Structure 1
Protein backbone atom coordinates (compact mmCIF):
# COMPACT_ATOMS: atom_id res chain seq x y z
CA UNK A 1 0.00 0.00 0.00
CA UNK A 2 1.52 3.31 -1.00
CA UNK A 3 -1.27 5.76 -0.23
CA UNK A 4 -4.85 6.07 0.93
CA UNK A 5 -6.07 7.84 -2.20
CA UNK A 6 -5.80 4.95 -4.63
CA UNK A 7 -8.99 2.88 -4.47
CA UNK A 8 -8.44 -0.57 -3.02
CA UNK A 9 -9.15 -3.49 -5.30
CA UNK A 10 -12.39 -5.04 -4.22
CA UNK A 11 -11.99 -8.75 -3.62
CA UNK A 12 -15.63 -9.56 -4.25
CA UNK A 13 -17.05 -12.25 -6.48
CA UNK A 14 -20.15 -11.71 -8.59
CA UNK A 15 -22.16 -13.34 -5.76
CA UNK A 16 -20.99 -10.75 -3.21
CA UNK A 17 -18.65 -13.22 -1.48
CA UNK A 18 -15.67 -11.43 0.12
CA UNK A 19 -13.68 -14.52 1.08
CA UNK A 20 -10.59 -13.27 -0.79
CA UNK A 21 -10.75 -9.99 1.16
CA UNK A 22 -11.01 -11.91 4.43
CA UNK A 23 -8.04 -14.10 3.54
CA UNK A 24 -5.94 -11.07 2.54
CA UNK A 25 -6.79 -9.41 5.88
CA UNK A 26 -5.66 -12.49 7.81
CA UNK A 27 -9.12 -13.35 9.15
CA UNK A 28 -9.05 -16.97 10.37
CA UNK A 29 -11.16 -19.34 8.22
CA UNK A 30 -13.51 -20.15 11.12
CA UNK A 31 -14.95 -16.62 10.76
CA UNK A 32 -15.36 -16.63 6.97
CA UNK A 33 -18.94 -17.96 6.95
CA UNK A 34 -19.94 -15.16 9.34
CA UNK A 35 -18.16 -12.38 7.40
CA UNK A 36 -18.12 -13.60 3.78
CA UNK A 37 -20.84 -11.17 2.62
CA UNK A 38 -19.64 -8.22 4.74
CA UNK A 39 -15.87 -8.53 4.52
CA UNK A 40 -13.70 -6.56 6.92
CA UNK A 41 -14.85 -3.11 5.77
CA UNK A 42 -13.45 -0.64 3.29
CA UNK A 43 -11.55 1.36 5.92
CA UNK A 44 -9.77 -1.75 7.23
CA UNK A 45 -8.68 -2.54 3.67
CA UNK A 46 -7.55 1.07 2.99
CA UNK A 47 -5.57 1.24 6.22
CA UNK A 48 -3.80 -2.06 5.45
CA UNK A 49 -4.90 -3.74 8.68
CA UNK A 50 -4.06 -7.46 8.79
CA UNK A 51 -5.25 -9.72 11.61
CA UNK A 52 -3.02 -12.35 13.19
CA UNK A 53 -5.24 -13.45 16.07
CA UNK A 54 -8.99 -13.16 16.68
CA UNK A 55 -11.03 -14.04 19.74
CA UNK A 56 -13.32 -12.22 22.14
CA UNK A 57 -10.58 -12.18 24.77
CA UNK A 58 -7.68 -11.10 22.51
CA UNK A 59 -7.53 -9.76 18.95
CA UNK A 60 -4.25 -8.74 17.30
CA UNK A 61 -3.50 -7.02 13.99
CA UNK A 62 -0.83 -4.98 12.26
CA UNK A 63 -1.10 -1.77 10.26
CA UNK A 64 1.60 -0.04 8.19
CA UNK A 65 2.71 3.46 9.11
CA UNK A 66 3.26 4.24 5.41
CA UNK A 67 0.08 5.60 3.87
CA UNK A 68 -1.41 6.38 7.30
CA UNK A 69 0.67 9.39 8.31
CA UNK A 70 -0.17 12.97 9.18
CA UNK A 71 1.56 16.07 7.83
CA UNK A 72 4.52 15.71 10.24
CA UNK A 73 5.35 12.31 8.75
CA UNK A 74 4.30 10.18 11.72
CA UNK A 75 1.38 7.80 12.14
CA UNK A 76 -1.82 9.85 12.37
CA UNK A 77 -3.49 9.80 15.78
CA UNK A 78 -6.75 8.93 14.08
CA UNK A 79 -5.08 5.89 12.53
CA UNK A 80 -4.27 4.66 16.04
CA UNK A 81 -7.95 5.03 16.92
CA UNK A 82 -9.08 3.28 13.72
CA UNK A 83 -6.87 0.30 14.58
CA UNK A 84 -8.11 0.29 18.18
CA UNK A 85 -11.77 0.51 17.23
CA UNK A 86 -11.36 -2.17 14.57
CA UNK A 87 -9.79 -4.60 17.02
CA UNK A 88 -12.19 -3.88 19.88
CA UNK A 89 -15.24 -4.04 17.61
CA UNK A 90 -14.26 -7.37 16.03
CA UNK A 91 -13.49 -8.84 19.47
CA UNK A 92 -16.83 -7.60 20.86
CA UNK A 93 -18.69 -8.96 17.83
CA UNK A 94 -17.13 -12.37 18.36
CA UNK A 95 -18.19 -12.18 22.02
CA UNK A 96 -21.74 -11.16 21.00
CA UNK A 97 -22.09 -14.34 18.93
CA UNK A 98 -24.82 -15.38 16.50
CA UNK A 99 -28.05 -13.40 16.63
CA UNK A 100 -26.39 -10.45 18.38
CA UNK A 101 -24.19 -7.55 17.34
CA UNK A 102 -21.81 -5.05 18.90
CA UNK A 103 -22.17 -1.27 18.66
CA UNK A 104 -19.29 0.97 19.63
CA UNK A 105 -20.47 3.55 22.16
CA UNK A 106 -17.18 4.98 23.45
CA UNK A 107 -13.54 5.06 22.40
CA UNK A 108 -10.67 7.07 23.81
CA UNK A 109 -6.92 7.02 23.27
CA UNK A 110 -3.73 8.34 24.79
CA UNK A 111 -0.73 8.73 22.47
CA UNK A 112 2.66 8.03 24.07
CA UNK A 113 5.13 8.29 21.18
CA UNK A 114 5.22 8.65 17.40
CA UNK A 115 6.11 6.15 14.68
CA UNK A 116 7.52 7.28 11.33
CA UNK A 117 7.94 3.90 9.61
CA UNK A 118 7.35 0.18 9.87
CA UNK A 119 4.39 -1.76 11.16
CA UNK A 120 2.29 -0.98 14.20
CA UNK A 121 0.82 -3.90 16.13
CA UNK A 122 -2.45 -3.47 18.00
CA UNK A 123 -3.50 -5.90 20.72
CA UNK A 124 -7.03 -5.74 22.11
CA UNK A 125 -7.45 -7.43 25.48
CA UNK A 126 -10.83 -7.88 27.11
CA UNK A 127 -11.41 -5.97 30.33
CA UNK A 128 -15.09 -6.94 30.66
CA UNK A 129 -17.19 -9.32 28.56
CA UNK A 130 -20.75 -9.04 29.80
CA UNK A 131 -24.21 -9.67 28.46
CA UNK A 132 -24.76 -6.06 27.40
CA UNK A 133 -21.28 -4.47 27.37
CA UNK A 134 -17.85 -5.50 26.15
CA UNK A 135 -14.84 -3.37 27.10
CA UNK A 136 -11.37 -3.82 25.60
CA UNK A 137 -8.03 -2.15 26.20
CA UNK A 138 -6.01 -1.81 22.99
CA UNK A 139 -2.25 -1.28 23.09
CA UNK A 140 -0.42 -0.21 19.94
CA UNK A 141 3.32 -0.92 19.75
CA UNK A 142 6.07 -0.38 17.19
CA UNK A 143 8.35 -3.07 15.78
CA UNK A 144 10.68 -2.67 18.76
CA UNK A 145 7.81 -3.36 21.16
CA UNK A 146 7.60 0.23 22.40
CA UNK A 147 4.11 1.41 23.39
CA UNK A 148 2.81 4.04 20.96
CA UNK A 149 -0.71 4.48 22.30
CA UNK A 150 -3.28 3.00 24.62
CA UNK A 151 -6.99 3.02 23.86
CA UNK A 152 -10.15 1.76 25.48
CA UNK A 153 -13.30 0.88 23.56
CA UNK A 154 -16.72 0.04 24.96
CA UNK A 155 -19.27 -1.80 22.82
CA UNK A 156 -22.96 -2.25 23.56
CA UNK A 157 -24.16 -5.80 22.86
CA UNK A 158 -27.62 -5.95 21.30
CA UNK A 159 -29.90 -8.62 19.85
CA UNK A 160 -30.39 -8.51 16.08
CA UNK A 161 -33.73 -7.37 14.83
Structure 2
Protein backbone atom coordinates (compact mmCIF):
# COMPACT_ATOMS: atom_id res chain seq x y z
CA UNK A 1 0.00 0.00 0.00
CA UNK A 2 1.25 3.43 -0.78
CA UNK A 3 -0.88 5.28 1.78
CA UNK A 4 0.10 4.11 5.26
CA UNK A 5 -3.23 5.30 6.67
CA UNK A 6 -5.34 3.35 4.16
CA UNK A 7 -7.03 0.15 5.24
CA UNK A 8 -6.05 -3.03 3.42
CA UNK A 9 -8.73 -4.87 1.51
CA UNK A 10 -9.58 -8.11 3.26
CA UNK A 11 -11.20 -11.11 1.57
CA UNK A 12 -15.00 -11.24 1.36
CA UNK A 13 -16.55 -12.35 4.63
CA UNK A 14 -13.68 -11.01 6.74
CA UNK A 15 -15.23 -8.00 8.47
CA UNK A 16 -13.74 -5.42 10.80
CA UNK A 17 -16.71 -3.06 11.19
CA UNK A 18 -18.45 -3.59 14.52
CA UNK A 19 -15.74 -5.97 15.75
CA UNK A 20 -13.22 -5.59 18.56
CA UNK A 21 -10.72 -4.29 15.98
CA UNK A 22 -13.12 -1.48 15.15
CA UNK A 23 -13.76 -0.66 18.82
CA UNK A 24 -10.03 -0.48 19.56
CA UNK A 25 -9.20 1.61 16.49
CA UNK A 26 -7.10 -1.10 14.82
CA UNK A 27 -6.53 -0.46 11.11
CA UNK A 28 -5.17 -3.25 8.93
CA UNK A 29 -2.83 -1.68 6.36
CA UNK A 30 -1.38 -4.81 4.74
CA UNK A 31 -2.72 -8.36 4.66
CA UNK A 32 -1.36 -11.52 3.06
CA UNK A 33 -0.46 -14.92 4.52
CA UNK A 34 3.19 -13.78 4.56
CA UNK A 35 2.81 -10.39 6.25
CA UNK A 36 0.05 -8.59 8.11
CA UNK A 37 0.48 -5.01 9.32
CA UNK A 38 -1.84 -2.85 11.43
CA UNK A 39 -1.81 0.25 13.58
CA UNK A 40 -3.59 0.87 16.88
CA UNK A 41 -3.90 4.10 18.87
CA UNK A 42 -2.69 4.05 22.44
CA UNK A 43 -5.45 6.46 23.50
CA UNK A 44 -8.49 4.47 24.59
CA UNK A 45 -6.43 1.29 24.98
CA UNK A 46 -4.70 2.05 28.27
CA UNK A 47 -4.71 0.59 31.77
CA UNK A 48 -5.37 2.69 34.92
CA UNK A 49 -1.80 4.10 34.96
CA UNK A 50 -2.23 5.57 31.47
CA UNK A 51 0.05 3.03 29.78
CA UNK A 52 -0.85 0.85 26.81
CA UNK A 53 -2.76 -2.11 28.24
CA UNK A 54 -1.00 -5.45 27.78
CA UNK A 55 -4.34 -6.95 26.83
CA UNK A 56 -4.67 -4.42 24.01
CA UNK A 57 -1.29 -5.54 22.68
CA UNK A 58 -2.55 -9.14 22.84
CA UNK A 59 -5.72 -8.20 20.94
CA UNK A 60 -3.62 -6.56 18.23
CA UNK A 61 -1.28 -9.56 18.07
CA UNK A 62 -4.05 -12.17 18.00
CA UNK A 63 -5.93 -10.23 15.36
CA UNK A 64 -2.93 -10.05 13.04
CA UNK A 65 -1.95 -13.70 13.49
CA UNK A 66 -5.55 -14.80 13.04
CA UNK A 67 -5.99 -12.80 9.85
CA UNK A 68 -2.79 -14.25 8.38
CA UNK A 69 -3.87 -17.73 9.42
CA UNK A 70 -7.32 -17.25 7.87
CA UNK A 71 -5.79 -16.07 4.61
CA UNK A 72 -3.53 -19.14 4.56
CA UNK A 73 -6.38 -21.49 5.58
CA UNK A 74 -8.55 -20.32 2.67
CA UNK A 75 -6.25 -22.19 0.26
CA UNK A 76 -7.39 -25.43 1.95
CA UNK A 77 -11.07 -24.42 2.27
CA UNK A 78 -10.54 -24.20 6.02
CA UNK A 79 -10.92 -21.56 8.73
CA UNK A 80 -8.44 -20.65 11.45
CA UNK A 81 -9.14 -20.74 15.19
CA UNK A 82 -6.64 -19.58 17.80
CA UNK A 83 -5.36 -22.22 20.21
CA UNK A 84 -2.40 -20.50 21.89
CA UNK A 85 -1.06 -16.99 22.36
CA UNK A 86 1.77 -15.60 24.46
CA UNK A 87 3.26 -12.16 24.74
CA UNK A 88 6.23 -10.45 26.30
CA UNK A 89 5.80 -6.75 27.06
CA UNK A 90 9.15 -4.96 26.69
CA UNK A 91 8.42 -1.28 27.28
CA UNK A 92 5.66 1.12 28.24
CA UNK A 93 3.88 3.41 25.80
CA UNK A 94 1.83 6.42 26.93
CA UNK A 95 0.62 7.99 23.70
CA UNK A 96 0.69 7.89 19.93
CA UNK A 97 0.19 4.85 17.77
CA UNK A 98 1.70 1.39 17.85
CA UNK A 99 2.29 -0.78 14.80
CA UNK A 100 2.07 -4.55 14.71
CA UNK A 101 3.74 -6.70 12.06
CA UNK A 102 2.95 -10.42 11.88
CA UNK A 103 5.14 -12.84 9.96
CA UNK A 104 4.74 -16.60 9.78
CA UNK A 105 6.97 -18.97 11.67
CA UNK A 106 5.12 -22.02 10.32
CA UNK A 107 2.38 -22.36 7.69
CA UNK A 108 1.03 -25.91 7.59
CA UNK A 109 -2.11 -27.70 6.47
CA UNK A 110 -3.49 -28.06 10.01
CA UNK A 111 -1.70 -25.36 12.05
CA UNK A 112 -0.03 -22.00 11.65
CA UNK A 113 2.23 -20.03 13.94
CA UNK A 114 2.98 -16.32 13.63
CA UNK A 115 5.37 -13.98 15.41
CA UNK A 116 4.00 -10.50 15.97
CA UNK A 117 6.29 -7.57 16.75
CA UNK A 118 4.64 -4.41 18.07
CA UNK A 119 6.63 -1.17 17.95
CA UNK A 120 6.04 2.43 18.99
CA UNK A 121 6.40 5.52 16.80
CA UNK A 122 10.16 5.57 17.44
CA UNK A 123 10.35 1.99 16.08
CA UNK A 124 11.18 0.71 19.57
CA UNK A 125 9.89 -2.79 20.32
CA UNK A 126 6.97 -2.67 22.74
CA UNK A 127 5.81 -6.29 22.64
CA UNK A 128 6.70 -9.60 21.04
CA UNK A 129 3.91 -12.16 20.72
CA UNK A 130 3.35 -15.56 19.18
CA UNK A 131 0.05 -17.13 18.16
CA UNK A 132 -0.76 -20.63 16.97
CA UNK A 133 -3.98 -21.34 15.10
CA UNK A 134 -5.57 -24.64 14.18
CA UNK A 135 -7.01 -24.91 10.68
CA UNK A 136 -10.39 -26.63 10.70
CA UNK A 137 -13.16 -27.33 8.21
CA UNK A 138 -15.42 -24.34 7.88
CA UNK A 139 -18.73 -24.78 9.75
CA UNK A 140 -21.73 -25.20 7.41
CA UNK A 141 -23.18 -21.90 6.28
CA UNK A 142 -20.06 -19.88 7.00
TM-score by length of 2: 0.89
**Structure 1 residue 27: deviation in Å?**
3.1
Mapping of residues 69-108 of structure 1, within 5 Å: 69-97=46-74, 99-108=77-86
**Structure 1 residue 33: deviation in Å?**
2.6
Task: Give the count of matched residue pairs.
Answer: 133
Query: How many Å separate the matches in 2 of 1:119 and 1:54?
Result: 19
**Structure 1 residue 34: deviation in Å?**
3.4
User: Against the structure 1 CA distance between its residues 96 and 25, is the aligned structure 2 distance closer, same or farther, given a 3 Å change threshold?
Assistant: farther
Mapping of residues 25-44 of structure 1, within 5 Å: 26-28=7-9, 31-35=10-14, 39-40=15-16, 42-44=19-21
Name the structure with the higher strand share. 2
**Structure 1 residue 42: deviation in Å?**
1.6
User: Against the structure 1 CA distance between its residues 25 and 83, is the aligned structure 2 distance closer, same or farther, given a 3 Å change threshold?
Assistant: farther
Paired position in structure 1 for 2:112 = 134
Q: Is the 8 A contact 1:25 1:45 kept in 2?
A: no
Deviations 1:58-112 (Å, cap 9, x if unpaired)? 1000000000000110100000000000000000000001631000000000000
Alpha-carbon RMSD across the aligned residues, in angstroms, is: 1.5
Name the structure with the higher helix share. 1
RCO greater where, 1 or 2, for CA within 8 Å and sep 6 or more?
2
Deviations 1:112-148 (Å, cap 9, x if unpaired)? 0010000000000100000000000000000000000
| Unaligned segments of structure 1, at least 5 residues | 1-23
| Unaligned segments of structure 2, at least 5 residues | none
Q: Secondary structure at the match of 1:34?
A: coil
Paired position in structure 1 for 2:40 = 63
